[in-house]
Structure 1
Amino acid sequence: MFSSKLHFWIGTFTFILAVHLTALSTEGQDSRPVIRISIPGLGSTYTMPFQIAQEQGFYLEEGVDVRILGGVRTAPSIQMLVGGNVEVSQTVGTTTLAAILQGAPLKVVMVFNDKPSYWLYSKKSIRSFADLKGAKVASITPGSTGDRLLKIVLEKNGVNWKKDLQIIYIGTSDVLIKSLLSSSVDAAVLSLPGNLIAKDAGFPELASFASEVGALTGGVATSEPFITKRSDVAVRFLRATLKGLKFFKNNREGSAKIMVKFMNLPYETALRTYDATIPFFVWDGVISEDFQDKVLDFQLKAIGTDKKVSRDKVFDFSIMKSLATN
């Protein structure tokens, strides 16, 4: 256990160091300011606004050099953001709030979704939550939104996730679906298009997490100094990302082609994935104050703290609102 943890943190440190050295070696070779984004993986619908903005040249139009760093888990992603190794993180959930509660000067400045797109699928012999007793359930990463939702849903359905089953963490969505299809696990938390693949293969859906109000999956978290000391760059970056989000919402065929490239999907599967995911996305990158309160309520409960925090301590949609009026 100690050895695996040591290797993980050595790997994380090496990755962060490589990112920092890369930035040092390339900064100044181009007049455009560099913005580094850390994302969990490259094969997710929740990275599409970034990737569409890059593919369609929206970042180039705004004069910013955006570099997307894939495969960064939620906790290291926020550590990199706090340490200044990236300017932006896609992680806008409980990990970000936990860092803010500990004093990190971070803000969520844009949100992509207002509902979580996760499902719990099981092997064919499991038809109810009661059948999960003693099962091996695959999840994403500890503390991620999908993992916290899994535990909440299990508890709501009378399953003690600490005693009644074993949760194993095996990473990205493509690995999760492969583990379920190969019967390496008894159930798995799936996102799109994994749930569609499982459904087509005849695996039963035990639960959809979409009704769990307040769980954010994608968006833009950044540091306060970035939006105050580099406000012009922040505005240009967010304007281009908003263009990417609107393209995603409005252009089914064009978005599907970009999904084919980054999610490694057949075109028809990309279209099905697009149709299934679009209802989870917002139009303007902003959520209402009432919904912000619901998000904070969900996240504080998920973290397991009695602390209270005001919405303006976590969210700052001032730039997004100004873009909507201009």
Structure 2
Amino acid sequence: MPKPRVLIGLLATLLVTTLTACGGTASGGGSSTLKVAVTTPTWNAGFATFLLAQSQGYFADEGLDVQFSLPPSGTQAAQQVIAGGADIALVTPEPVIIGASKGTDLAYFASYYGDWIYSLATLDGSHISKVADLKGKRIGVTNVSSSGATFARVALQMAGLREDDATLVPIGVGAQQVSAIKDGQVDALALWDTQYQIVKNAGIHLTDLPVQEMAGVFGGGFAARKSRLDADSDAFVKFGRAFAKGVVYTQANPEAAIRAMWKVEPDTRPAAGIPEADALAQQVKVLQVRLKGLGVPAGKKDWGTIDPGGVRRAVDFARKAGLIDKPVDVDKIVDTSLLKDINDFSRDEVLKQASARK
């Protein structure tokens, strides 16, 4: 199966940046700054845990100044880390697996998405019941370079179609996205878990379009250069611990996480004319989807664990899809040696803090 054309240039860029990469901001001289590339077009409720951890001072308590950037695709997030522009990338498996096949040293040190987050869905009246029915149809994506778009191309190929047998239509996010769907600009969607909930919140009815090959595939998480994980492990432990505290807090008090997001990123507040209580309820629904997808039930002690079998399935998927032409060893792209120290904190203390905000 041929590789999707959209990835060819990106792979070349990954190789070039690997050869010129420099160290991140947390190494050398004991700097306390960590730059984190979060793959999302905009802040939304699905990422409220990040801003809750920041608002609660969990990063500051660890002596970290965490600076976020929002690259619109996982490939761009991975490139930032490889080139030294960021220390950590929140990414799905494709760029890490592809990078490993080309000689980069990105490795996951903690999971974030327990399972694969991208999927296909159809709209009412589309008469689409299987992926092969997408031939000649329009598939809505946030942008044509997004991981959702890549997934759509691969899903078409795995169904025996060419990647250009369907048209990918960029529909953005938020109100622009909802308007495009309601106006009938697309027949199907290739989005991710929380984006689908945002669409459902707008009263749009969707039907899942299963891609069986994705069952049990690792969804992705926090990745850094393996050399950095080895040389500056303390900084990554501190980041992971602060974020894990944010997860525990958010699970106990999701409403407080949404309000923290509104405070830190005012653009995420409800638009004029929308009652705050209604907006809070809708955004909590989005956040709950993400919390469920973390694969860490409330009360579970170990955050960030990675199932090697799920990673192996992700590698198998990448090879079947033509994203790589040779196997990638799971041990090359996963390093869970920091998780014990990351999870070394008092959950009871965090729960007390969350309870106090109710």
TM bucket normalised to smaller: 0.7 to 0.9
Unaligned 5+ segments in structure 2 are 1-5, 18-23, 271-278, 297-302, 346-358
* Aligned residue number for residue 287 of structure 1: 306
Deviations 1:226-272 (A, max 9, x none): 21222222221221122223333333332333455655451010122
Per the normalisation by structure 1, the TM-score is 0.78
Structure 1 counterpart of 2:239, one-letter code? F
Q: Given the alignment of the two structures, is residue 305 of structure 1 paired with residue 324 of structure 2, yes or no? A: yes
1:275–1:34 CA distance, 2 compared to 1 (3 A): closer
* Aligned residue number for residue 91 of structure 1: 91
Q: Given the alignment of the two structures, is residue 57 of structure 1 paired with residue 76 of structure 2, yes or no? A: no
CA distance in 1, matches of 2:218, 2:179: 25
CA distance in 2, matches of 1:307, 1:77: 23
Query: How much has 1:274 moved relative to structure 2?
Result: 2.7
CA distance in 2, matches of 1:176, 1:209: 23
* Aligned residue number for residue 237 of structure 1: 239
Moved more, 119-128 or 256-265: 256-265
1:166–1:295 CA distance, 2 compared to 1 (3 A): same
Structure 2 counterpart of 1:112, one-letter code? Y
1:83–1:153 CA distance, 2 compared to 1 (3 A): closer
1:170–1:82 CA distance, 2 compared to 1 (3 A): farther
Q: Given the alignment of the two structures, is residue 277 of structure 1 paired with residue 278 of structure 2, yes or no? A: no
Alpha-carbon contact 2:105-2:333 (below 8 Å) kept: no
1:38–1:126 CA distance, 2 compared to 1 (3 A): same
CA distance in 2, matches of 1:100, 1:236: 26
CA distance in 2, matches of 1:127, 1:67: 45
Query: How much has 1:104 moved relative to structure 2?
Result: 1.2
Query: How much has 1:317 moved relative to structure 2?
Result: 0.8
CA distance in 1, matches of 2:39, 2:312: 26
Alpha-carbon contact 1:108-1:222 (below 8 Å) kept: yes
Deviations 1:53-106 (A, max 9, x none): 212211000001000012443222222211111111112420122112211122
1:17-96 equivalent positions in 2, closer than 5 A:
33-41=32-40, 42-44=42-44, 47-96=47-96
CA distance in 1, matches of 2:167, 2:86: 34
1:145–1:153 CA distance, 2 compared to 1 (3 A): same
Counterpart of 1:267 (choices 267, 280, 284) is: 280
* Aligned residue number for residue 20 of structure 1: none
Alpha-carbon contact 2:38-2:90 (below 8 Å) kept: yes
Deviations 1:100-132 (A, max 9, x none): 221112211111122233443444330324764
Alpha-carbon contact 1:227-1:234 (below 8 Å) kept: yes
Percent sequence identity over aligned pairs? 21
Report the number of matched residues: 306
* Aligned residue number for residue 256 of structure 1: 258
Deviations 1:263-316 (A, max 9, x none): 545101012223333321122111223333223223333453341122110000
CA distance in 1, matches of 2:269, 2:319: 35
Tell me the secondary structure at the aligned position of residue 318 of structure 1: coil
* Aligned residue number for residue 114 of structure 1: 114
Structure 2 counterpart of 1:181, one-letter code? K
Tell me the secondary structure at the aligned position of residue 270 of structure 1: helix
Deviations 1:155-202 (A, max 9, x none): 56x572535321234554664433212322232223355423544534
Per the normalisation by structure 2, the TM-score is 0.72
